[in-house]
Structures are given as structure tokens and as C-alpha cells.
Amino acid sequence: MTFGGYKDSPNPGHQKKKKIAIIGVSSVLLVAMVAAVAVGVTRNHGSSKTDDNANNGGDVSTSNKAIQTLCQPTDYRETCEKTLTSAAGNTSDYKALIKAGFQVAVEELNKAIANSTTLRELAKDSRTNQALENCKELIEYAIDDLQESFDKIGAFEYSKFDEYLADLKVWLSGAITYEQTCLDGFENTTGDAGTKMKQVLKTAQEITKNGLAMVTETTQLLTNLNIESVSRRLLSNDDQRRLQEPADHWFSEGQRRLLAATVDSVKADVVVAKDGSGKYKTINEALKDIPLKSNKTFVIHIKAGVYAEHVMIEKHMTHVTFIGDGPTKTKITGSKNFVDGTPTFKTATVAVVGNYFFAKDIGFENTAGAEKHQAVALRVSSDMSVFFNCRMDGHQDTLYAHAHRQFYRDCTISGTIDFVFGNSATVFQNCTMFVRKPMDNQQCIVTAQGRTDRREPSALILQGCTIAAEPTYLAVKDINRAYLGRPWKEFSRTIIMQSTIGAFIQPEGWLPWMGSFGLNTCFYAEIGNKGPGSDQANRVAWRGVKKITLDHAAKFTPGQFIGGDKWIKPTGVPYTSTLL
């Protein structure tokens, strides 16, 4: 559900190369790196030649074989081989491959843009124009996201291999999400702008998904090429211990104590108070004090009050912490909605993009009402973000858990249709989902997960949660039926475990999105639940509805699924990494 666009810039050529080189650029960097490793090792093991600058048939053949091997598991093999062959030439030097791969991606994307009349024909109506503008923003996020991920790889230390793979899968999935969100924004627009934009992004999407396929299959590929295994089970004891240590970029010991303290003892960097007792009266004023791309946690204490403003934690605002006086006392509220002309992506009362965001004791609300359809209270793209004892209140699309790794503990989310949705890797632990009364002709759906590629490490996980209903809904539950979820995208994945499910949930459990879409390719599972609505005897018999074991379910706990021991534990929030 996202929308975007491109604007003319003072230096259009520069902007196109930098910003329209989208996700595919960094994906190709990743691909080229893996290709270089494979080429280099194959060459060293299979040939006595060591001159990387030698220009002969053996080098070309080795390069081609490595590229074919790398492209074998991808879904878009022709695009993969063509791109890598163009980038590789006859070199096996990984730096040269990376540089060449980057350039090829830029050229292909710029060629796609140049050959399209999309940018000149798009501003025919307001929704289309907003869709294009949002696309521009999303593409910039994707470029930054993947460029930073590749920068992190650096020297490519084998001892960190598993850690890198986990991060890269998440970031590549984020890139895929940004691309798809851009295209989703053209729903309900006039003209053929959406079709043209889809064509413009086609190569970038294929390269990104190919990159994810390669990362997913990397360990097996390296094994096939007789490279020494670098999987976790073969790391040294020291490496094992280091990989389990909390991430040093998260919270210091002092900051952990701060988060465990009462609000009266909090020493914040900035205090916001409606009554004038703080430095600022609005949250947006306080955002100006946040240092850009800082590794130091910046704490904003938002005192009790209703703050009617739309708040955006930008990409460069990292390590930001919001602490309120309680989820019903400190409330950030807005009413932007789709019916009144705002794209779903932009309806959020609070949007969080900067990584390592933490919120405690705050309410997020969209008051537009059921009649206004899509109206987001909170949108989160922040990687390794944590929400503790917060409320998210709305109707349709209340919480947009958009992308990356997220953790919610002791939170309350209310809504009607798809009120927890997105394509993030998110675990809700000990949270309550309240179904509210919808419009007369509407049904209620708790989740709508949006995974578009089977390899994405994303899912919505409800562990130890309670799915309940507000009293006003119970009066209409037999008319406006309620379901656990529906497949928003083809590979939608949702797991509900060790939770309590109210009797108002329909016996079928899950609802189709449209016809048979996603019913065979989704992954929905329930295990260890209780309550009258947990009986699975009459659940839908889709191929995508799975019966899993506790051992399988353990893979979706926060310790394993999102690596929470490294970044959730240091926040000091209550946290169980395994099965409850």
C-alpha cells in the first residue's frame, strides 16, 4: 500500500544516477561480491594461473562457469547471467567486479528510465502524482539501505559470515518491500502510469530478488565450489561467543538503566510538554535537536498530553528513543486517510524510518474512523526497532509494520480491517489485539502480511498474545465476522503461537484475499494456542495452512527469527527469546 514519485531536480542527471539506481544497484554489488569469491576460489583451486590480469580463454571460461553456478538458484536466471557477464568481463578481481556490477546496474536503470515516457506523463491526477512522489522517497530509502549494508561487509570476514547473511537477507527483503510499496501506490489511480512504472522497475526488481536468492543459497553454493564451510557450526568457540554478544551499537548500561527507570527519574536529552514545562511544546520541534546519523541514543521524554501532529523519524535519525508518561496519557494523534485523498503510505500519524528506534509508554492514534478506510496510526520501517507498553489505535490499517526487524512487547493494537499489516520480520510478544466495530458491510481481519518472495525472512509472529474484541464489536460479531488474517501478497506468512484467541474468531480462521490468490503459497500456522477461538477442527483447508511442530515453531521465536538476543535484550524490556 504505498505510493511514490519522481520530481525534477536542479541536477537531473546526477539525481537519476544517484537516486534512481535503486535497489538493484546494491543488489548487484552483493551479487558481484559473491561471484568474485566464487570465481577467485574456483580459479585458485582449479588452475595454476595466478595473474588476475591475464586475458585468456581459461579466465573467461572460469568466470562464465562461476556466473552460471551463482545464477542457478535464481528465479530470473537470464537477467542474472546477462548482468553478471556484462559486469565480470575477464577479471576475477572482486573489487573490479563490484565496480563493474554497480556501473551495469546504473546503466540499465537509467536506460529504462530514459526509454520511458512515464516521468513526462504522470501528473494527470493528484493520486498519481502522490504515488510518484512516494516512489522517489522509497527508492532513496532502498539505495541508502543496501549501500549501507554493503559498506558493513567491508573486508568480508568469514568469522562474521552468518551474521552478515542474516543482515543481508533482511536488507534485501527491505529493498524488495520498498520496490513493491512503490508499485502498490498506483492502485486506484487513473491512466497507465502504474503499468509504465512497473516496467521501469522490472529489471531492478529481478536483480534484487536474484540477490536475495544468491544470499539464501550462498552457503550451499560455496560448499559446491569446495570452499571451506563458514557456517556457524564450524566457527571457533570464541567466534560463537562473540556472535552471541549484544550488539555494541545499541544501548549502553546507563541507557538500559534509564529505560528501566520510572519517568520521574528519566534524564532525557529533550523534554516535550504541552503545558510549557519542557523545552518544546511539540514533538516536531524536538526532532530538530536530534544529531544526524549518531551512534548515541537520543532520548525524548514526551510528557502527558494529546499531541495532534504528524511525526516523521527520518532515515538519518537513528538511535532515537521516545518515552511517554503512559500509553493512555501521552498520545500522538492524527486523522489522515485514504478517502480524503492521502495515499495509505502517507496517512501514518507517526512514521519511523531511522534504525534502532525505541518507544515506551506512548499511544499512537489515527482518528479517521472506519468510514475513511485506510488510515495508519503508526508506520515502522526502522530496523531493530522496539516498542514497549505502547498503544496503536485506529480502524483499517492501524499498524503498518512495513519492513525490517521489529519487536513489540506488552503493546495494545486495535482496529477493524488488516489492522496489523506489512512485510517486516516482526514478533509481537504478550500483546493484545482488539477487534473494533467496523462499518455495516465490512468484515474484520487482524493481520495481512505482505511477503512477495518465498525467500524473504519476513513474517508476522504473535507469541503469547491475546486476540480479543471490544464490547461494541461483540454485538455485531455474527454479522461482521472476524478472522485471524488474509494473504495480502502471494507468500504471506503469519504464525500465531502460545496465544489466547477469543470465541468471536470464525471457525475457518483465515479469509481469502480475492478468489484463490495466495491460498497455496501463503504460510499460516497456529500452535500451542488456547481459548474458544483456537480450535482448529474447522479451519480452512488451504495448502498454505500448515501444521507445524514445536521444534518448527521455535524457529519463529524472537531469539531465532530476528536475532533478538543481540539487540532486544540490551534495551531492558521484558523479553523471552524462546518458546514461552
Give Cα separations from 288 to 233, 283, 531, 551, 579 (angstroms).
46, 9, 47, 47, 41
Question: In sequence order, which residues have a C-beta less than 8 Å from that of residue 481 and are 6 or more positions away?
Answer: 443, 444, 506
Contact indicator for 323, 292 with CB cutoff of 8 Å? no
* Sign, CA torsion 63/65/70/76: positive
Q: Partners of 485 in the beta sheet?
A: 447, 510
Other Cβ atoms within 10 Å of 233 Cβ, number? 7
Contact indicator for 481, 443 with CB cutoff of 8 Å = yes
Which residues, other chains included, contact 54 with Cβ-Cβ below 8 Å and sequence gap of 6+?
A: none
- Decide: 420 and 441 in contact? Cβ < 8 Å: no
Write the DSSP string, 465-529. Answer: -EEEE-HHHHTTTTTS-EEEE--SSTT-EEEEES-EE-TTB-TT-B--SSTTTTTTT-EEEEES-
How many whole angstroms separate alpha carbon 126 and alpha carbon 423? Answer: 27
Please, which residues bridge with residue 301 across strands?
A: 271, 323
What does DSSP assign to residue 462?
E
SS3 labels along 126-187: HHHHHHHHHHHHHHHHHHHHHHHHHHHHCCCCHHHHHHHHHHHHHHHHHHHHHHHHHHHCCC
Residue for cell digits 533478538?
564
Q: What is the dihedral of CA 358, 361, 362, 363, to 10 degrees?
A: 130
- State the greatest distance between any 2 C-alpha atoms of the chain, in Å, as a whole number: 79
User: CB–CB of 90/63 below 8 Å?
Assistant: yes
Do strands 405-409 and 425-429 pair parallel, antiparallel, or not at all (unpaired)? parallel
User: Strand, coil or helix: what is 428?
Assistant: strand
Between CA 466 and CA 477 the distance in angstroms is: 17
Supply the Cα-derived Rg of the chain in whole angstroms. Answer: 24
- Quickly list DSSP for 55-96: -SHHHHHHHHHHHHHHHTT-S-HHHHHHHHHHHHTT---HHH
For strand 466-469 and strand 500-501, is the pairing parallel, antiparallel, or unpaired? parallel
Among the options 418, 440, 478, 551, which is catalytic?
Answer: 418
Q: Which amino acid is at 305?
A: G
State whether residue 206 is helix, strand or coil.
helix
Q: What distance in Å separates the CA atoms of residue 322 and residue 332, rounded to the nearest whole number?
A: 11
3-state secondary structure of 312: strand
Residue 125 is among the residues annotated as catalytic for this protein: no
Say how many CA atoms lie within 13 Å of 362 toward its Cβ: 25
With contact defined as beta carbons under 8 Å apart, do 561 and 427 qualify?
A: yes
Question: Which residues are known to be catalytic?
Answer: 418
